[in-house]
Structure 1
Amino acid sequence: MATITLLFFLFLQLITATISTTPPPYNATVYVLLYCGAQSATTDDTDRRWDTDTHFPNFLPSNFSSISTTATASEQDPSINRVPYTTGARIMRSQFTYTFRVTPGAKFLRLYFYPANYSGFNKAESFFSVTANHLTLLSNFSAFLTVSASSSKQVQKEYVINVDETQILKLTFSPSPNSYAFVNGIEILSMPTDLYIHGDVTLSGHTNPYNINNSTALETLYRLNVGGNLVGSTEDTGMYRVWDSDDAFVVGLGYQTPHFDVDITYTSETPAYSAPRIVYTTSRTMANHSQSLDWEFPLNSGFYYLFRLHFCEIQPEVQEINDRSFSISIGNQKAAREADVIQWSGG
């Protein structure tokens, strides 16, 4: 069984700021929203319609009624979004596989979990694994322990999975011994083929590159709007990504957070769906050359991490090459020297 070997977060991609019209968002060709175990279809707070999984028996195993049950959380926390968390869940007592027929190519896969006590099921006793085709996404996972170690009361997991020419995506939940699995919501969304890097990427501190190919799965860890507020899913460019504020991760106080309400010109290398306009019009900057601007992120050992940095030069006084030059270090290793956004963007 293969496991995920590459994790990533989105940070700040390279474009230029000039006068432009607002380009259209990405239009997803695959769009699945399943409210697992719910009694009927319903809409969430963003007016997106979630269908109950029982309306699509072709997604479910033939014996789904004997190996699973539906339930509603006994703990209706008003701070939790009702859809797709609190009023529906699919409880699985043995291995359970959803089968989705989708177009080939990269897909966003988002899994939603609300660890609550369901009738006859103790939230602390749920441990399970999740695989997508041949890839292990979660192993002996406990949603209860996950929220216990954080300030959140629900869990959302986001992955980028490539579907091959068979056009089949099998999502399998496997309870650990004497345990059970559950899921509240499943979202599958197509994405542009060129959204993420394919091919060889540089590994910091290594001479041999790492190849990102169609058998590589990615898990989103952090996607941040640097210097700005949270950008909600409906403000994204058609892929319903959430861009969190970076306030909890930036270190020190010697920085500025300029926001320039400029128009953005996207390019063929950085299309309009790369990130919303607000991500490129907010930033953090530091003028003191004796200091650094730092972020710190909790990470697990034993994985490779892809850092994706987005840049847009928006300050009016920065017009020429060498007007602003800086270095970038990741994990105490130099990733770029004399970085210059004007030079990178060609003007």
Structure 2
Amino acid sequence: MEMRAKEDIEMGEDITPPLLPLSFSLHDSFLSSHCSSCFSPLSIPSPSLPPQAHPPLYCSAACSSAHSPIVSSSAESLLPASSPHPSNLRTALRFLLTLPSPSPCPHLHRFNNGLLTNYHKLSTSPEFAPEIRQGAIAMAAARKLRNGDSALDQSDGVLLEEAVLSLVLTNAVEVQDEAGRSLGIAVYDPNFSWINHSCSPNACYRFSVSPPNATSFGEDSCSSLRIVPNISEEDSGVCSCSDYMKGTIGYEYGPKVIVRSIKRIKKEEEVCVSYTDLLQPKAMRQSDLWLKYQFTCSCRRCAMSPSTYVDHALEEILASNLNSSSSRFDLDHYRDEANKKLSDYVDETITEF
């Protein structure tokens, strides 16, 4: 699956309107300081409490009336206090509420809304399988308790919970504020989630974190969707694009995402963003993408032989950092050095030109 431009797009233009999430959740560390519905900061933060004992906090009555029924219906308050990665579990439980009834078969690699689960890859991955299994059991137990049933039995199946949690791990993005802090995670519909990765992307994305009825800078610059879905031949027999899009049901609130071009994009050209830190050498990018998403990038930048000038410079910077007197690799220091050195290269090139 991929998204392509339906018209010529100039550099620096919004190519989607603000897109609302299908499901989302704050990270535990922000439950006491930010609105659980729109992620905007609270005027008066509350005392920090354990996540399971912390009631959702809201910036307005509108956010409270819209979001609080979801919290009670999702059974997230019944999750064990020791559950790993609670924001993933809360997002998965809330996503379950958006599914049609009866719920789709978890054996499918895509749900009715077209989102990839990666279930078969992740559930057999040494890195993800234990987290998915434990999280699915915790989710299923919480849902049973919500319905007044007895504790989860070993014979009870948790395939649906495993598939939805896999979907969250595959599609969720970190929602960041203007300071670059990761406030929580959100899963968006195919208009965003079908945008593929490239280490040399032609688009980026930003988030609009604001209370209801507030207008953030730049939101009015694009009111229409300027990209369209495209299904490759290998997926063409699964379902039509229109079936996926009309089946998408999400929330009418939450942190919004906007996609913006960073290069000129021609009509029918694929639109790509980056899933990883582009200031990493190829080997580190490939490792990061495999560990998080279970795929090997084969974009033009990664396929270049020999490496691009930028990647060669990044490898030199990495080598010098690893050979320094520091006893451990300092990622922040590496990024600062990479930014400075690449900036110097650009300045030198412009001067020579």
Fold conserved (TM > 0.5)?
Answer: no
Q: Which has the higher strand share?
A: 1
Q: Which has the higher helix share?
A: 2
TM-score normalised by structure 2 residue count: 0.29
